[in-house]
Amino acid sequence: MSIRSRVSSRTALAAAVAGLGLIGVTAPQVAAADQPVPSVSVKADKNTKAIAAAQPTAVAAAATVCGTGYNLYKAEQLPDASRKGTLFVYVKGSNPASNDAPTCAILDNNTTTAKWMKIKLCSNYTAEGCAQDSGTFSEYAGPVYRNHGGCGTVTSLMKSSSSSSTYIINNVQDSTNCN
């Protein structure tokens, strides 16, 4: 179940809970979750903005996984437009490309079956190092965090099983654009 599917399940739950309002029980916080609005950084590139516009539920759900205050900075369909996975990088602060940007990364599994996945986020500060999450996941790998994740790197890996030698996704890129 991908982030997108889990949010759809939450939407169905919200409808059921909202129905309870007819008998006198209300849950206004659920109604807000029914209409996700992704928070996208003004510094996000046009590809990221296009993915956010096309997949607002998935983007909002991934942001929820990262926690309060994170804005989408980068979304990348991996390994290509076939989209076996989607890399989401979220940042806090007004200058996400800075070295000091708290950063969160998630690798969403967009296949229909569990895959071995790994997401690794490395800080630009060598003393802070890397954070990683790996295993066999049906939804996503992560979230992983770095306090100084801006200008670092993010590695996204996916293969059919941990013993497989063939990668479906094998991608390393900058976590934020620091050019």
* pLDDT tens column, 139-163: 999 999 998 877 889 999 999 999 9
For residue 21, the model assigns a pLDDT of: 36
pLDDT category at 29 given cuts 50, 70, 90 is very low
DSSP annotation of 12 reads: H
What are residue 131's DSSP bridge partners?
A: 121
E-strand spans in 9-163? Answer: 71-78, 85-91, 103-109, 115-122, 130-137, 140-146, 153-159
DSSP annotation of 69 reads: T
Phi then psi for residue 17, to 5 deg, are -65, -40
Residue 102's contacts (CB-CB under 8 Å, 6 or more residues apart) are 70, 91, 92, 93, 145, 146, 147, 148, 149
pTM: 0.78
Amino acid in position 25: V
CA distances from 70 to 2, 57, 60, 142, 161 (A): 20, 15, 10, 15, 31
10-24, 32-46, 106-120: which has the minimum mean pLDDT? 10-24
Mean pLDDT calculated for residue range 42-47? 90
pLDDT category at 63 given cuts 50, 70, 90 is confident
Tens of pLDDT, residue by residue over 73-96, are 999 999 998 999 999 999 987 666
What Rg, from alpha-carbon coordinates, does the chain have?
17
Q: Is the pLDDT of residue 14 over 50?
A: no
Q: Is the pLDDT of residue 17 over 60?
A: no
